[in-house]
């Protein structure tokens, strides 16, 4: 269990929850209202949710609070259910407006797990999952962050992190590379205008699965930490290993370029146990990241796209991962393209699902920073939502905001 923002029920009141249930991870975003006291009465919390739908005057904020984020391993879904139950987050949904007398509660959800685990949520929490399209949610979440959140996008190369100023009026088109268990590459042409143009099955699930088999690491973060201490040159065959320590200058390959991932393992009389697990993890991470970076750039080149944004919990702000992807994009583009990353990289889908509450009652969202507001449209319906990152938020922190009703 990994909570990116802990919430005290004595200080907040919870309303509106959305889920992205993937093959490896469950991601949550939920809105918590600022309040001096929090009632334990579920009906009171429920009535506060409904108040979002009962207001018609948008001149005043209905609720002020923060968007919070959390994640769980899908294989440990019961931990997620326990968290939802303990925080009364199951009440953070909406009621069926076609049946006012109904007690049925719906929670917005996306990802394959919204179908796979629908019965489990109904059985354990008594809620129904209102399913939203996965790709649409990814794009909606990305557009929201890129248009509205100050210093959301950044580049990372050679250990240097630089934030990128995004002009909301000059965002499209771009390539969104979402690295989850697998990888989806989505060409985004505008609000609600997108196409999945490519992908690869070699993604975060590949790194996690092979890493678990080869190193015995029990979770993804442990595997990443292990790779930080490793040396991929122990296992990877470099151009210099083939050319006697020199470059292959004629075709532009330096001696340190990887010629074959894990290539040295075939020429040495060693077994898996003879290698250090951190070196294995490092080579595996390099292999997966290089592959993703190369395929991403080739797809950007295919469609003439200048912007490539990488997201998904495979990255996790890990310096070596970002640097490897950036080097791959820089190498194949001959320096003409740059890989860009997102601060809230793992929550695009769940943010998109959260935004879909506007279909029921959520009309607008304002997030404050130094009195600045950045208007965006999150759907073809043209509803405006305003957002910027709170100045005291950390890399994966919560976002301070105001919610308006319809």
Residue 59's alpha-carbon distances to 135, 179, 308, 312, in angstroms, are 33, 40, 38, 36
Q: In the chain, pLDDT over 70 holds for what percent of residues?
A: 73
Per-residue pLDDT for 113 more than 90?
yes
What is the predicted pLDDT for the residue at 393? Answer: 38
Residue showing tokens 């200058």:
249
Residue showing tokens 């719906």:
106
CA-wise closest residue to 191 among 173, 175, 179: 173
How far apart (Å, rounded) are the C-alpha atoms in residues 282 and 187?
30
Per-residue pLDDT for 397 more than 50?
yes
Per-residue pLDDT for 44 more than 60?
no
- The encoded tokens of residue 351 equal 């943010």
Q: pLDDT per residue over 207-246, tens digit each?
A: 999 999 999 898 888 999 999 999 999 999 999 988 998 9
Q: What are phi and psi of 63, to 5 degrees?
A: -135, 140
Residue showing tokens 């029921």:
360
Q: pLDDT per residue over 271-327, tens digit each?
A: 999 999 999 999 999 999 999 999 999 999 999 998 999 999 899 889 989 999 999
What is the predicted pLDDT for the residue at 390? Answer: 35
Residue 48 — very low, low, confident or very high, per pLDDT cuts 50/70/90? very low
Strand-pairing partners, residue 404, are 364
What is the predicted pLDDT for the residue at 402? Answer: 58
Q: Exposed, middle or buried, 260 (CB in 10 Å: 0-12/13-18/19+)? A: middle
How much is the average pLDDT of 72-83?
93
How far apart (Å, rounded) are the C-alpha atoms in residues 36 and 115?
38
- The encoded tokens of residue 46 equal 């429920």
- For residue 339, the number of C-alpha atoms closer than 13 Å in the C-beta half-sphere is 33
How far apart (Å, rounded) are the C-alpha atoms in residues 138 and 142?
6
Higher confidence at residue 98 or residue 27?
27
SS3 273: helix
Lowest-pLDDT range, 12-21, 309-318, 331-340?
12-21
Q: What angle do CA 266, 268, 270 make, to 5 degrees?
A: 100
- Max avg pLDDT among 79-88, 335-344, 360-369: 335-344
Q: pLDDT per residue over 123-170, tens digit each?
A: 999 889 999 999 999 999 999 889 888 889 999 988 899 999 999 899
Lowest-pLDDT range, 8-22, 295-309, 369-383?
369-383
Cis ω on the peptide bond leading into residue 213 (within 30° of 0)? no
Ramachandran region, residue 281 (left: φ > 0; alpha: ψ -120 to 50; beta: rest): alpha
How much is the average pLDDT of 73-101?
74
Per-residue pLDDT for 38 more than 60?
no
SS3 281: helix
- The encoded tokens of residue 275 equal 């290698």
How much is the average pLDDT of 68-90?
87
How far apart (Å, rounded) are the C-alpha atoms in residues 288 and 74?
22
Strand-pairing partners, residue 17, are 30
How far apart (Å, rounded) are the C-alpha atoms in residues 152 and 317?
12
Element (H, E) at 307: none
CA-wise closest residue to 309 among 183, 176, 194: 176
Residue 265's alpha-carbon distances to 127, 154, 332, in angstroms, are 51, 36, 26
- The encoded tokens of residue 379 equal 């759907």
How much is the average pLDDT of 115-119?
95
Cβ count within 10 A of residue 214:
16
- The encoded tokens of residue 29 equal 């975003």
């Amino acid at each position: 269990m990994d909570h990116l923002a802990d919430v005290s029920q004595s200080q907040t009141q919870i309303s509106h929850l959305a889920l992205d249930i993937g093959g490896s991870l469950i991601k949550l975003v939920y809105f918590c209202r600022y309040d001096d006291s929090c009632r334990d009465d579920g009906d009171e919390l429920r009535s506060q949710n409904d108040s979002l739908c009962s207001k018609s005057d948008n001149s005043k904020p209905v609720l002020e609070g923060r968007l919070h984020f959390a994640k769980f391993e899908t294989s440990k879904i019961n931990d997620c259910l326990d968290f939802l139950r303990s925080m009364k987050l199951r009440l953070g949904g909406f009621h069926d407006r076609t049946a006012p007398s109904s007690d049925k509660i719906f929670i917005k959800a996306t990802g394959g797990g919204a179908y796979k685990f629908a019965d489990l949520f109904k059985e354990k929490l008594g809620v129904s999952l209102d399913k939203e399209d996965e790709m649409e949610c990814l794009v909606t979440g990305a557009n929201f962050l890129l248009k509205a959140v100050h210093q959301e996008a950044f580049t990372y190369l050679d250990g240097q992190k630089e934030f990128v100023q995004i002009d909301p009026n000059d965002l499209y088109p771009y390539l969104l590379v979402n690295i989850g268990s697998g990888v989806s590459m989505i060409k985004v042409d505008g609000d609600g205008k997108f196409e999945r143009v490519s992908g690869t099955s070699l993604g975060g699930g590949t790194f996690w699965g092979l890493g678990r088999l080869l190193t015995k690491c029990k979770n993804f973060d442990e595997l990443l930490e292990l790779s930080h201490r490793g040396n991929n040159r122990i296992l990877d065959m470099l151009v210099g290993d083939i050319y006697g320590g020199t470059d292959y200058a004629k075709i532009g390959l330096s001696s340190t370029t990887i010629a074959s991932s894990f290539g040295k393992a075939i020429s040495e009389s060693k077994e898996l146990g003879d290698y250090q697990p951190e070196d294995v993890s490092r080579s595996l991470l390099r292999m997966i990241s290089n592959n993703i970076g190369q395929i991403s750039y080739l797809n950007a080149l295919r469609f003439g796209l200048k912007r490539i944004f990488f997201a998904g919990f495979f990255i996790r702000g890990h310096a070596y991962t970002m640097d490897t992807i950036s080097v791959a994009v820089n190498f194949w583009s001959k320096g003409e393209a740059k890989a860009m990353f997102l601060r809230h990289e793992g929550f695009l889908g769940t943010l998109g699902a959260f935004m879909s509450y506007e279909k029921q009652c959520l009309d607008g969202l304002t997030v404050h920073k130094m009195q600045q507001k950045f208007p965006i449209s999150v759907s073809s319906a043209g509803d405006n939502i305003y957002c910027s990152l709170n100045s005291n938020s950390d890399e994966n922190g919560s976002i301070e905001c105001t919610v308006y009703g319809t």
